[in-house]
Amino acid sequence: MTDQAQLLPGTLDLLILRAVSLGALHGYGILLRIQQISGGALLIEQGALYPGLFRLVRQGLLKANWGTSENNRRAKFYELTAAGRKRLREETDTWNRLATAIASALGTQPEEV
């Protein structure tokens, strides 16, 4: 587990939006999807997912419906709303700008200054 990174504050919402943007998922599915798309590099406490999910639903970025899972269990499936899709785009841009800026700052060599 040592090679897994702790999430930065605020990034869980972004990851959830991204995971759901690839298709409707239930909570456990979202967790698996995040692990899958991050290559298993991110550590998410399983229970911590749900407060985030409910928050996004309340903000109108996700909508949820009960359905039946691949395991034939009742589960709640989440998908993006239009507002969620828009938010994901914005957040992705912001994140990319930030990441590039920080990466370039950290990658600067002494002679480049």
Q: Kindly state the DSSP code that residue 110 receives in the 8-state scheme.
A: G
Q: Kindly state the DSSP code that residue 61 receives in the 8-state scheme.
A: S
Q: Which of 51, 90, 99, 108 binds another protein (CB under 8 A)?
A: 51
From residue 111, give the alpha-carbon distance in Å to each of 104, 107, 108. Answer: 14, 12, 8
DSSP, collapsed to helix, strand or coil, labels residue 43 as: strand
Q: Residue 112 Cβ, how far from another protein at the closest point, in Å?
A: 44
The overall longest dimension of the chain from CA atoms, in Å, is 61
Stretch that binds another protein, among 2-10, 33-41, 51-59, 91-99 (CB under 8 A): 51-59
> Contact between 58 and another protein (CB under 8 A)?
yes
From residue 103, give the alpha-carbon distance in Å to each of 14, 39, 75, 107, 109. Answer: 19, 20, 40, 6, 12
Q: Which of 60, 90, 94, 99 binds another protein (CB under 8 A)?
A: 60
Question: Which residues, numbered 61-90, are part of the site for another protein (CB under 8 A)?
Answer: 69, 71, 73-76
Question: Could you tell me how many residues of this chain bind another protein (CB under 8 A)?
Answer: 25
Question: Which residues, numbered 8-47, are part of the site for another protein (CB under 8 A)?
Answer: 26-29, 31, 45-47
Which residues bind to another protein, rule: CB under 8 A? 26-29, 31, 45-55, 58-60, 69, 71, 73-76
